[in-house]
Amino acid sequence: FTKSLTEPTNTALRLYKKIPSQDYISSLYADSAQQIWIGTAKNGVWMLDQQQNLHHINLPSNDDSNPWIYDITEMSPGIIWFGTFGKGIIEYNTKSGIFTSIRQQRGLKRNLLDNDIWSFFKDRRGLIWIGSRRGVNIYNPSQSAFKYIPGDMDGPNGLPDSQIYSVLATSDDQLWLGT
């Protein structure tokens, strides 16, 4: 974590001090349009455009607080997902400016396991693996459907630990989960 964003310029670093000093950066992501998305713990999301202008993205909220952004990914060009603490996934359409909230909905079989979303990983098949406080969600964009593998379950269908902080697949398609 750091309190400012730096960019290499030749052999020097350029320091961006526009993010409030009482906050810190919790995630960084470069999208297909070469924009840098910056997730923070207290001030939501910032975006650095190609002209090096820094923009604060006002996320929707029922209260005056911005959610803690744990991870960021691009679902398709112009569609950005923000993994949050307690507010699930916030989808942002950069072209229309429209936000969509994707949250756990109790009683539904195919939805998020939890609203604490810690990591995203897109595999070679296009599936999105989502690490959360209660296990792994698997999102299939072609079906707009979620499946999940819950954590802290004994037996062959669960994970030995519920908290999944990171997800990675190797070139031979072995899946690694960071707990």
27-85 pLDDT tens trace? 999 999 999 999 999 888 999 999 988 899 988 877 777 889 999 999 999 999 999 99
pLDDT band at residue 153 under the 50/70/90 scheme? low
Cα–Cα dist 41/54, whole Å: 17
- Whether the pLDDT of residue 170 is over 90: the answer is no
pLDDT band at residue 91 under the 50/70/90 scheme? very high
pLDDT value of residue 4? 54
Candidates 114, 94, 95; CA nearest to 103 is 114
**H or E stretch covering 52:** none
pLDDT value of residue 5? 57
Q: What is the mean pLDDT of the chain?
A: 85
* Mean pLDDT, rounded, for 117-140: 92
* Mean pLDDT, rounded, for 120-124: 93
pTM of the model: 0.85
- Whether the pLDDT of residue 13 is over 70: the answer is no
Cα–Cα dist 83/119, whole Å: 7
Cα–Cα dist 67/81, whole Å: 13
Q: Collapsing DSSP states into helix, strand and coil, what is residue 106?
A: coil
- Angle made by CA atoms 66, 57, 75, in degrees to the nearest 5: 100
